[in-house]
Every structure is written in C-alpha cells, then in structure tokens.
C-alpha cells in the first residue's frame, strides 16, 4: 500500500480502497500548498513585499524608518527562495485609520490584484492600530491566499492560530493608541487651561507663528481683515464683501481665489481678532476617526483676554457684533447698495424704503426712494409718497449738523438715560434684603434641628416645620437667582451702551 498525505495533513495508506458496500475510493494526493496563488503554482517562488511605517516625522523616527527600509530590502533580496515584490512605505502618517495611508493602500491593492504573495512587516502596531481595519484587511488578503508575517509577534496570518493572535495583538495596539490619544488630549487641555493660544496659521488670516511660538500679526493679511470689518460697518453684507474680495483677487485664508459668504462671517465673529481667545471650541469625539464636533458643554472652555496682539480694536469688534445682531433680528435680506439701504423706515407702515431709478436712459434720470409696500398688495398698500434721493441727502446733512451743534446736550441726556436704564441700586438693595432673610431662615432651621436633638419632639410636627422652612429657603434662593440675572443684564447693557 502507498501512503499519501492530504492537504489537511491526514495520512491515506491505501491508494484504492473498496468499502464494504462495494464503493471504491481512490485517494488523489495533494501536489501544491493550500492557498497558493497562480504565480506560486508556476514558479514556486513567492513574491514577497515589505511594509514600513513611522507615525511622526521626528529625527529619531526618521532613523527608524530608514533602518526598516534597509532591513527589509536586504532580508527579501537575500533569500533565494523569495522573489522581491517591492517595499511599500508611509513616512510620518498616523495608523489609527488606514484611510490616509497611500503606501499601505497601494500595498493591499497590489496584493489583491495578485501581484504579491506574502507581506512582511515589523509588528501589528506598524500595520494598523485599529482592530477592525486590521482584521478586515487580513481576511481580505487571506481570501486571496496572501499571508502577512509580523516579525515582532512571530505571527503568520495563514497559520491556524494567526487570526486569534491578530485579534489579541490588534486590540492591544488599539488600546495603546487610545492611551496615546488620551495623553495628547490631556496635554492639549492642560495647555489650554494655562491660557496658551495656538492657531492653524495655514488657514487663519492675519497671524503667523512668531519665533517664540506665539501669534504675531502679519501686516499684509491684517490689512485685509481691517478692510473686511470696515466694509461691513459701511453697510455692506458678507456676500457683497466676498464678491468684492474675489473681484480684487485677494486670496482667502486657505489660499483660494473665490471668497464665500461663510468665510467672511467667520472672520467678523472670531474673537481672536480683538486679541482674545475662546479655547476648545471643538472636541474630538472618536480617537480612531478623529471626528470633531462643536463643544456644546461636553468639555470645559477657557476664555483668555489679551492673549495676543489685536488686529481689530475692541470697540470696532463690538460694533460689528451689535450690527450682526441688528441685521439678524430683522429676519430679512440686508441690502448694501447705498448708505441709505435698510436705514429709511416708513413712518406709515414700518417697512423699509427701497431705491428706484426713474428715466434711467435719458437726461432726466433720478433716484427716488419709496416704501417697499407701496405696491405690494391692495389690502396692505402703503399710502406714503416717494422721496427724491437728493432731498434725503440734504435732510441727512442737516440732521448731522444738528447733532454736532447739540453734541454736549445730547451726550448729557444720553448719560442720564443710560444711568436710568442700567441703575442697579434697587437690585442691590433687594439682594441684600433677601440675603438677610435667608440667613434668618437658616438660623431657624439650625435651631429646629438642635431642638429636635436635645428635647423630645413629635417627629410629624418636626418634619412639617422643617419642610416649611426649607421651602421658604428655596423660594428665597430662586428670587436671588432672578435678581442676579437681571443685575448681570443691566451691567452688560451698561457696558454695551458705553462701547457703542
């Protein structure tokens, strides 16, 4: 009898066996390895490629990267049983996701296309720190008969124990990545808590990194920022500002040629331009995908005043915020065609006046302003008449001159109105009265507790009295909260009025 070995490692002692029921079984021995590719069937020399990666571009990592490349090139070329299939690399790329690793993705694509039979890499963590990515990729390769060898862990993915070991090692690598991410996040938040400001200078208009690592003003870009703020206060809208900057060929913060409405708005509302910084506006929600979201209270924020040189004065910045609020409350499009756009209010119906051109193609051309509800609908038709623009300009000059002449009187009246609107004396007195009342209630609660502890009391009566006093204390605290809120609003309005 001749002994044969099947592909599953089971010995077959009889080439032909006749079963008791008359069936005849002929054993056909295996001639090639399991999972062998078509290329290996022809040459018996597996094509071996290596993958090398480091996650940072620091000098010591660069040395490690060069060492990996040299080592694997020599290892594969020096083995006569192997055919060199190339060296695939990613220099200074994080491994938490395979999405951004071009060298890795080319390696897998070539392996799945039948160009590679085996991959050698240093360790599981060099391959991927994401368990899902690691296992998914290994299984895809395994289906094509491509094995991966991890030298540090001595794992062969085509081995029966390979997938179990890969799962364990990849999970450990993923936890290592999580730990590193948490340490980096802790360091970043510690830096934020210390009030240290950093910017993405490549995408931020007006600043550059100084020699000490702190922001310094880039005057060429700062002029653009000041131009944007000035154009907005002159009555232009973010969309019209964006169109003007695009027409002028001014590059955007990211170096593009077309400005967007949202880009202008972000510049107008960014507190960094007045020299302050709100830190940790966004947070990372997943250390694997690096996905970010707006911080809505999940993590602490820090507001740092005078953290760096200001491009825009606080007064100008605050005026812009007030104007943004004013335009936002109107709930309609803001025009910027003229200095009178959206500033002439109809005394009859409260709508705004819009400009119209009469006789636009003849010598009698003139601009008039009329209520936008003049011819809207019959049931809401405004009876107000139109106004000639020249008369509006004359009235505007007269009004400004009157303000200049009566300047001292106007400011004196303004101060009186401001003092009346923002007077907190009554609120202060109410807070003091409530604090004294609450102190009295707390003393009564303390006396009641002491009485219950030292004398025999009916516990039902004690609970009734205690609950009544506690309810009184809570009511006083709620009143204090409402008054303090009104006090803060008054103080804020006073500061806003002063700045404006």
Higher-scoring residue by pLDDT: 331, 415 = 415
Higher-scoring residue by pLDDT: 151, 413 = 151
Q: Phi-psi region for residue 338, left (φ > 0), alpha (ψ -120 to 50) or beta?
A: beta
Confidence grade of residue 35 (pLDDT, cut at 50, 70, 90): very low
Which fold does the domain 201-330 belong to in CATH?
A: Hect, E3 ligase catalytic domain fold (3.90.1750)
Confidence grade of residue 167 (pLDDT, cut at 50, 70, 90): low
Q: Phi-psi region for residue 133, left (φ > 0), alpha (ψ -120 to 50) or beta?
A: alpha
Phi and psi angles of residue 351, each rounded to the nearest 5 degrees, phi first: -80, 170
Confidence grade of residue 242 (pLDDT, cut at 50, 70, 90): very high
Query: What pLDDT score was predicted for residue 59?
Result: 45
Confidence grade of residue 237 (pLDDT, cut at 50, 70, 90): confident
Domain boundaries, the chain: 38-56+72-91+106-179, 201-330, 344-400, 421-499
pLDDT for 165 beyond 60:
yes
Query: What pLDDT score was predicted for residue 226?
Result: 93
Distance from the Cα of residue 396 to its chain's centroid: 46
How high is the mean pLDDT of the chain? 76
Nearest-angstrom CA–CA distance, 319 and 299: 30
CA atoms within 13 A on the CB side of 405: 6
What secondary structure does DSSP assign to 384-420, as a single string? PPPEEHHHHHHHHHHHHHHHHHTHHHHHHHHHHHHHH
pLDDT for 143 beyond 50:
yes
CA atoms within 13 A on the CB side of 424: 15
pLDDT single digits (tens) 209-235: 888 777 889 999 999 999 999 988 887
pLDDT for 492 beyond 50:
yes
Query: Residue 335: which of 326, 327, 323 has the closest Cα?
Result: 327
Contact 308, 275 (CB under 8 A): yes
Query: What pLDDT score was predicted for residue 188?
Result: 52
Phi and psi angles of residue 26, each rounded to the nearest 5 degrees, phi first: -105, 125
Structure tokens given for 183: 């340490």
Query: What pLDDT score was predicted for residue 368?
Result: 87
38-56+72-91+106-179 CATH: 3.40.50.1390
pLDDT single digits (tens) 303-317: 677 778 889 898 888
Question: With the CA atoms of 460, 461, 465 and 467 taken in that order, what torsion angle do they form, in degrees rounded to the nearest 10?
Answer: 10
pLDDT for 496 beyond 80:
no
Query: What pLDDT score was predicted for residue 366?
Result: 87
**Unique residue bearing structure tokens 């009186």:** 416
Average pLDDT over residues 67-93: 85
pLDDT for 48 beyond 90:
yes
Higher-scoring residue by pLDDT: 141, 95 = 141
Nearest-angstrom CA–CA distance, 221 and 132: 45
Confidence grade of residue 16 (pLDDT, cut at 50, 70, 90): confident
This prediction has a pTM of: 0.42
Query: What pLDDT score was predicted for residue 6?
Result: 42
The percentage of residues in the chain with a pLDDT greater than 90, rounded to a whole number, is 12
The percentage of residues in the chain with a pLDDT greater than 70, rounded to a whole number, is 70
* Other CB atoms within 10 A of residue 186 CB: 10
Classify 451 as helix, strand or coil.
helix
Confidence grade of residue 27 (pLDDT, cut at 50, 70, 90): confident
CA angle 120, 126, 128 (to 5 degrees): 105
Nearest-angstrom CA–CA distance, 154 and 160: 13
Confidence grade of residue 111 (pLDDT, cut at 50, 70, 90): very high
Lowest average pLDDT, out of 27-36, 333-342, 383-392, 409-418, goes to 27-36
The most confident of 20-34, 155-169, 400-414, by mean pLDDT: 400-414
Query: Residue 338: which of 387, 380, 281 has the closest Cα?
Result: 387
């Amino acid at each position: 009898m001749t002994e044969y070995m099947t592909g599953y490692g089971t010995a077959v002692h009889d080439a032909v066996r006749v079963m008791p029921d008359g069936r005849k079984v002929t054993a056909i021995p295996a001639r090639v390895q399991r999972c062998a590719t078509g290329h290996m069937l022809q040459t018996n020399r597996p094509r071996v490629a290596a993958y090398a990666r480091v996650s940072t571009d620091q000098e010591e990592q660069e040395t490690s990267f060069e060492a990996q490349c040299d080592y694997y090139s020599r290892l594969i070329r020096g083995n006569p049983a192997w055919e060199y299939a190339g060296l695939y690399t990613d220099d200074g790329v994080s491994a938490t996701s395979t999405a951004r690793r071009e060298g890795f993705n080319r390696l897998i694509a070539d392996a799945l296309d039948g160009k590679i039979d085996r991959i050698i890499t240093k360790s599981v963590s060099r391959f991927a720190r994401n368990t899902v990515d690691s296992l998914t990729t290994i299984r895809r390769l395994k289906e094509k008969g491509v094995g991966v060898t991890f030298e540090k862990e001595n794992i062969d993915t085509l081995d029966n124990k390979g997938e179990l070991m890969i799962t364990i090692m990849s999970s450990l690598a993923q936890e290592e990545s999580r730990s590193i991410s948490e340490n980096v996040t802790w360091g970043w938040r510690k830096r934020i808590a210390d009030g240290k400001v950093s910017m993405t200078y490549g995408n931020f208009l007006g600043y550059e990194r100084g020699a000490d690592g702190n922001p310094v003003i880039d005057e060429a870009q700062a002029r653009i920022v000041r131009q944007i703020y000035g154009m907005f206060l002159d009555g232009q809208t973010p969309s019209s500002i964006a169109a003007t900057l695009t027409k002028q060929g001014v590059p955007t913060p990211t170096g593009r040629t077309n400005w967007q409405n949202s880009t202008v708005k972000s510049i107008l509302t960014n507190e960094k331009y007045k020299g302050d910084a709100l830190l940790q506006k966004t947070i990372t929600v997943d250390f694997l995908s690096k996905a970010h979201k707006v911080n809505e209270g999940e993590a602490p924020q820090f507001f740092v005043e005078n953290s760096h040189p200001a491009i825009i004065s606080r007064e100008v910045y605050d005026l812009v915020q007030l104007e943004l609020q004013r335009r936002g409350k109107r709930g309609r499009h803001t025009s910027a065609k003229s200095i009178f756009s959206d500033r002439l209010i109809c005394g009859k119906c409260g709508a705004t006046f819009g400009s119209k051109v009469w006789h636009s193609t003849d010598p009698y051309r003139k601009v008039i302003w009329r209520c936008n509800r003049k011819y809207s609908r019959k049931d809401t038709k405004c009876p107000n008449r139109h106004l000639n623009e020249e008369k509006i300009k004359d009235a505007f000059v007269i009004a400004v001159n009157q303000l200049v002449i009566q300047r001292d009187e106007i400011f004196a009246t303004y101060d009186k109105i401001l003092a009346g609107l923002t007077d907190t004396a009554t609120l202060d007195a109410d807070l003091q009265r409530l604090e004294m009342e609450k102190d009295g209630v707390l003393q009564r609660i303390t006396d009641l507790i002491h009485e219950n502890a030292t004398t025999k009391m009916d516990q039902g009566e004690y609970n009734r009295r205690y609950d009544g006093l506690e309810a009184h204390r809570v009511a006083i605290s709620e009143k204090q909260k409402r008054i303090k809120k009104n006090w803060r609003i008054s103080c804020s309005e006073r500061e806003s009025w002063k700045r404006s």
